[in-house]
Structure 1
Amino acid sequence: MEKAKVILVMLCGVITASPSVCAQELAEAYHDQFLTGTAISNDTLSKALPATDTPVCKEFNAFTAENAMKWQSLQPRDGEFDFSLADKLFELADRCGASVIGHTLIWHQQTPEWVFKDEKGAEISRKHLLERMKEHIYTVAGRYKGRVLGWDVVNEALNDDGSLRDTPWRRIIGDDYLIQAFRFAREADPDAQLYYNDFNLYKPEKVAGAVRLVHQLTDAGIDISAVGMQGHYSLFYPELSAVEESIKTLISAGTKVSLTELDVSVLPVPEESFDGADVNQRYVADPLYDPYRNGLPESEQKRLADVYEGLFSLFVKYAAHIDRVTLWGTSDDESWRNNWPVRGRVDYPLLFDRNGQPKLAYKVIVKKAP
């Protein structure tokens, strides 16, 4: 029998047959369980790209654009596309041997107002908006066809009670706008994985809504590859058992699960009922809610590590059904949690500190890997 040919490629300065040679620690530790990703900010993409010996390249094998592939970044004006930052994401991924997740094709946030209006400022028709949706998805997904592992096709379409949000997409097109978006995405890139992505999916009512969406898409003949559970968590919420129940519910619905935007805030919440990741939530700055401006105490580092250990142990438990765990950023200095829901706070939600050094949470989950 003829021996299989091994194609060697040059990545990270090393001749290798592995597409993820740069991922030497965290991603390698969980290599047999799931992809381990990070979000790449516009600031990172606007400068000289990270070297291959930095945590971005060494620790992760899946990249998601934090903002560079959202509608307002790619098509700020009708028919005027700007792929400069998105293209640099793919350049970085090629350099690091990482997969790319497209985020996001359809969202009610960070979508310019012109998308929903005519030249006189009046709301456009269902037919017109469907044409704009199709053109955008065909152009964007078509450009990166074969280079994207999967797309967050629709982002945050559900209220916490599981009902559909009253967004311009829904008001103009109707409840079937998700089906239309997924259909266009599948036509534009037949081989890409397709995801629905949302926050607070540890809440039973909301995860039930996600299950309904999965069934509606399946009934429409559309294969949804995974549901993305945004992991914008805190030391104060959610209960690990609630996250597990939601994972089990989605598995029972016949879909895989991705943990798509994982970070764990250590800061006090502005009010007892606060949770979630709605970017419209804003609170006035108060020193009471920003207690760690001079550094995170060792006791809080331990609490953060305990939360991450519990989460990664849970993800490993269901690894057969989890395809990816993506941290929403690499180091604390670049996290959106520093400015949400209160601007200018100092938060510590990620695995690397502001100097790019691994924190106790990082060390614990690497050590505890199977």
Structure 2
Amino acid sequence: MKRIIVLGLMTLAVSNAAAQKTENSLKKAFKDKFYIGTAMSLPQINGTDVKSDQIITSQFSSIVAENCMKSMFLQPQEGKFFFDDADRFVAFGEKNNMFIIGHTLIWHSQLPKWFFVDKDGKNVSAEVLKQRMKNHINTVVSRYKGRVKGWDVVNEAIMEDGTYRKSKFYEILGEEFIPLAFQYAQEADPNAELYYNDYNEWFPEKVKTVINIVKNMKSRGIRVDGVGMQTHVGLDTPKLEEYEKAIVDYASAGVKVNVTEMEISALPSPWGTSANVSDTVEYQAKMNPYTKGLPQNVQKEWENRYLDFFRLFIKHEDKIRRVTMWGVTDNQSWKNDFPVKGRTDYPLLFDRNFKAKPVVEKIIQLTKEKK
């Protein structure tokens, strides 16, 4: 009898621990504030990264595809679409009752080579490019109409000084390619949320140009619902005040702010650092200093940086639609290979052993603090 009672108590303890873990999930903590999301890689979408999938379903309320919905994968040849991975991604989100984001419809990068050229390899006319844009957007958005809830319609079209990126879209169509993309997406799914998405999104001149684009589209009856702040940040930049001003300014244009690709790198930035061949060994050591784990002081600094950002998100929760992490665990983060290949970075909320870092519980506790 005693053995049965002991086993019963053990089972109860395990159940209580599991319940507590579920109770303390990020998605539950932010349920009444904004969606909390993550990007999904192919192994996660295909179900081969089981441990990450368990984190995704237990912790997050929104998902975005890291790569498989970019145009080079969806339409590698003109008129020949490949939807297998994207279909699985959307099915995963539906099965787990998640807010599904499509990324990205129009982007100058990770785009098939045929998109801008004719059979002779020369730039296509404006009319041909418009038709190709419309066909791609209509085919993709219509396929997931009512299922994908929001789209990054145009990605990374503005430079830090506020000028337009000199992409082929801009070269052939000028500034009009952005309103056209939003118009085509709106026609394909009138109920999906439509976003403009960019990085270094706190630079003042970039903020001004994006706001002008948003206001211009709205004045023409073209719907834009949000601005995506990618939030690829480090320990030093941007200043929190700069970032907060950008949130407030974007929101003042009558759109929601979406934090779309967040991580915080703990490593030094190489920009402006010498990379001469003679300095290679020294440079590599300097750029990749924490191969065995973060020192306690750096760990604390990194953690405080995350908490500062999440305090800011909570402060402005009325302006924010979602906060999405760009990956689940440190081992899968693109920051291990950018801007320097082969580094060991620690930018995400879950470690290389699929364990929640202590900062996760601290972020959850922030949601319980009185303002």
- 2:84 is equivalent to residue 84 of structure 1: yes
| Structure 1 range deviating more: 86-95 or 316-325 | 86-95
Percent of aligned pairs sharing the same letter: 43
Closer/same/farther in 2, CA of residues 104 and 147 from structure 1, 3 Å limit: same
* Counterparts of 1:77 and 1:35, CA distance in 2: 35
Equivalent residue, structure 2, for 1:298 = 296
| Structure 1 range deviating more: 294-303 or 346-355 | 294-303
- 2:110 is equivalent to residue 110 of structure 1: yes
- 2:122 is equivalent to residue 133 of structure 1: no
Equivalent residue, structure 1, for 2:314 = 316
Amino acid at match of 1:92: F
Q: Which aligned pairs between 1:1-370 and structure 2 lie closer than 5 A?
A: 25-48=25-48, 50=50, 54-272=54-272, 286-370=284-368
User: How many residues are aligned here?
Assistant: 341
Q: Contact 1:179–1:217 (CA<8 Å) still a contact in 2?
A: yes
Amino acid at match of 1:323: R
The CA RMSD over aligned residues, in Å, is 1.9
SS in 2 for 1:141: helix
Closer/same/farther in 2, CA of residues 23 and 335 from structure 1, 3 Å limit: farther
Q: CA deviation at 1:115?
A: 0.3
Q: Contact 2:51–2:354 (CA<8 Å) still a contact in 1?
A: no
Query: TM-score when scaled to structure 2?
Result: 0.88
* Counterparts of 1:266 and 1:24, CA distance in 2: 26
* Counterparts of 1:217 and 1:196, CA distance in 2: 11
Structure 2 unmatched runs, 5+: 1-21, 274-279
Equivalent residue, structure 2, for 1:16 = none
Structure 1 unmatched runs, 5+: 1-21, 274-282
* Counterparts of 2:347 and 2:24, CA distance in 1: 22
Q: CA deviation at 1:59?
A: 0.4
Q: Contact 2:43–2:49 (CA<8 Å) still a contact in 1?
A: no
Q: Contact 2:52–2:329 (CA<8 Å) still a contact in 1?
A: no
Cα shift readout 1:210-263 (whole Å, capped 9, x = no counterpart):
111111211221121110111100012111111101111112222111111110
Cα shift readout 1:107-130 (whole Å, capped 9, x = no counterpart):
000011210011111110000011
SS in 2 for 1:68: coil
Equivalent residue, structure 2, for 1:276 = none
Query: TM-score when scaled to structure 1?
Result: 0.88
* Counterparts of 1:291 and 1:147, CA distance in 2: 44
| Structure 1 range deviating more: 179-188 or 73-82 | 73-82
* Counterparts of 1:53 and 1:70, CA distance in 2: 21
Q: CA deviation at 1:271?
A: 2.7
Q: Contact 2:264–2:302 (CA<8 Å) still a contact in 1?
A: yes
